[in-house]
Chains A and B, each alone.
Chain A
């Protein structure tokens, strides 16, 4: 191999003893596999058996590769297991080297882990994606209208479409801010709507995250990684890019700044380096070209927010905040919060600072609000929902609670305000004691729970200890709403790495995959 530059004069091992740089790998899978194919380098997809009863991203019920994934599958097959293993190791080392991690804490001793990344991408056709985009756009508009209404005229409650008691009992509902209108009437600069794929292949909304959804940094880092370790494949397939997310987000945040956007100071507000998502907070600040601040860097004086700089206090106009409502201002919400900025809510209510996302969004993504979203779409937009959702029993309704209690072993029960895959019962996989425990919890706090049928989540081929096996996945597309709505093409695909698991959360052994939206409409349909 000819080096473009002379080797360094010393025996220094820069960068470090990690697997060779991507450029050093033979890029044609064909040439590297043919000599070894017979004994050492088995095909990746042979054999690959999808789970019965679940939709698989790559293979149909007859075991045939789907048209739109054929090119990717063929490439991976030609690459073979040995080369694939090498590239997977390269990606893992590179994530570690780059410190692309999330933090797991016990006793305040931070342990940084990499978010396991699977190199086999999910592939979504242009046609499927345009349906998803339209559906998300519609859903976000309805949810934003709902918040504007709930903190305003409350028409939807007065007309009986959504029960008043449900709204007022939501932990995310903030009566303190009734009458406040956020700049541009925009509550949801960023939302992450979790989608799953039913056995029919249809995408369904599983839950809404419209407070501070996280994970987008991994989407961008995963794509960068794929382009590094499988450059030839990325190039031939033709993907919609994801890398302009930070600029779209910046544009949306600045769209409703109280001052001229060009002269506005935008900051990302993080709880601090001990937060599990601190990597992402810094990533977004860096890629939006703005500053990352912690609560103690900000203060409010006469309803104006300032940041403490080496040149004295300077005004802040827009805050992309990654601190929950409860903790954001000890004067208004939790007085014991150490993460808050005193007076921030007052400055926001006066329109002197723009918060992304706005306050009070928790009432919209309460899991007990979720069953009413299709009705909101009809009520505010006069349209039928373009994406369906999972049938849901609200345990707060006595008749539905009775049904749920009678059918617990077949249902999935979720706490309305929990996330991360916690506070959840998967009936068909639970023990008798767990079912009994949930029956007790439901009876004592019915408002706290909803129930859904167990949906056979779709699967995607995943590299597990040297073999490719079907593992369940979900998808979190990110929607950015500024002057208009923009959906990041793809999103975060999380995969349950444990066999048989339905829980994809990173805190519970989940990994992630790159999600590819094909550029061309002729990519085939399922």
Chain B
């Protein structure tokens, strides 16, 4: 498939997944701070830090706003200048979809376009003001509708695979960021916070990933940083766990390579394979520095995305040097 189109498939779904994670993290934090006994500086500030927007938020809104729940939620939901706000992410998801309308199914386009019109309409404003919980719920439903339609309508061909690579790559990074919120909220080590807040926090984190019930089925341990971490990072069959998401990326990358030329995509496949192996290696090791481990995962995922980009989206000079060698492998067209 056309490299530029593959890139748009990838980014469309990354942005859509980002909309979902931002909505999830905001919804769960709202529920958490309502019940937890936390100092003002630990309530909303960590959200801004976790999404990596602390400098630009401080720049635009000032120090005091960091502790202002309404300001932070507004920033991460509606701010056009915030690169990770729900509005901005959805705008780019839709713009990518619009650019490749010939590739996405019509139902997918209508799904993202309907979502966009809704978010910019009166109903979304009303829900946000008066029924905040419902507002986030509706966003998650739109996101899941989009993914469901994608699953239900796309040909099982490279465009679909690149879409899912985008979904899963974004999800791996977002789950890692979500787990790392803990450090900003309750301190560097799990033992530094009161037990009640600890347990409330981890329940909230699990709920934000729709993982609470699944966790209970898998783990008999008391809720703790370590047990939640083991579930959300290492669990191979939970769809929002990092291990699962990265394994999907690895498998899909193998699938989008041409069977008769394994030099294409070699770098990214090797990188994904190593990353999954590294995570599996954590299974039997004691967990020491959670923050460092999560930071490593976020960085390695970003590197992997860079490799996907140079392997598939920006064909290198060596590929272009002898086009005739590649030319006859074309799909029957149109």
- Residues of A in contact with B (beta carbons under 8 Å apart): 10, 12, 14-17, 96-99, 250, 254, 262-266, 268, 273, 278-279, 282-283, 285-286, 288-294, 296-297, 299, 301-302, 304, 306-315, 317
Contact = CB atoms under 8 A, between A and B. Distances in A.
A181 B103 CA distance: 34
A237 to B, nearest CB: 27
Contact of A263 (B109, B118, B315, B333): B333
Contacts of A286: 101-103, 106
B52 interface: no
A6 B278 CA distance: 47
Interface stretch (B179-187, B194-202, B323-331): B323-331
Interface stretch (B1-9, B19-27, B293-301): B1-9
A215 B138 CA distance: 36
A313 B101 contact: no
A265 B315 contact: no
B306 interface: no
B330 A314 contact: yes
29 contacts: A15-B114, A16-B117, A17-B121, A97-B110, A99-B98, A250-B334, A264-B333, A265-B334, A278-B98, A282-B100, A282-B101, A283-B102, A289-B334, A296-B4, A297-B2, A297-B3, A308-B2, A309-B315, A310-B158, A311-B1, A311-B329, A312-B326, A312-B329, A313-B320, A313-B326, A314-B326, A315-B323, A315-B327, A315-B330
Interface stretch (B43-51, B243-251, B256-264): B256-264
A311 B323 contact: no
A313 B321 CA distance: 10
A16 B258 contact: no
Interface of B: 1-6, 95, 98-103, 106, 109-110, 113-114, 117-118, 121, 123, 138, 141, 145, 158, 162, 256, 258, 261, 264, 312-313, 315, 319-320, 323-324, 326-334
A343 B117 CA distance: 42
B327 A306 contact: yes
A309 B334 contact: no
Contacts of A297: 2-4
B117 A254 contact: no
B329 A314 contact: yes
A282 B256 contact: no
A292 B4 CA distance: 10
A312 B141 CA distance: 38
A6 B123 CA distance: 25
Contacts of A296: 4
Residue from A12, A250, A296, A302 whose CB has the most chain B CB atoms within 10 Å = A12
Contacts, number: 133
A16 B112 CA distance: 12
B333 A312 contact: no
A462 B323 CA distance: 56
Given A265-B333, A312-B329, 14 more contacts: A16-B117, A97-B117, A98-B106, A250-B334, A262-B332, A263-B330, A288-B334, A292-B100, A293-B2, A312-B319, A313-B315, A313-B320, A314-B326, A314-B327
B269 to A, nearest CB: 13
Contact of A310 (B6, B123, B324): B6
A290 B98 contact: no
Given A96-B117, A301-B323, A310-B6, A273 B99 contact: yes
A309 B3 contact: yes
A273 B97 CA distance: 11
B114 A16 contact: yes
Contact of B3 (A254, A265, A302, A308): A308
Nearest to A317: B333
A133 B95 CA distance: 40
Contacts of A310: 1-3, 6, 158, 162, 256, 264, 312-313, 315
A304 B334 contact: no
Contacts of A315: 323, 327-328, 330
A262 B2 CA distance: 20
A304 B324 CA distance: 9
A12 B138 CA distance: 7
B3 A283 contact: no
A299 B333 contact: no
B137 to A, nearest CB: 9
A243 to B, nearest CB: 14
A99 B109 contact: yes
Contact of A309 (B2, B100, B102, B328): B2
Nearest to B328: A315
A285 B110 contact: no
B102 A12 contact: no
B22 to A, nearest CB: 20
A98 B2 contact: no
Nearest to B333: A265
A201 B6 CA distance: 52
Contacts of B110: 15, 97-99
Contact of A266 (B101, B256, B333): B333
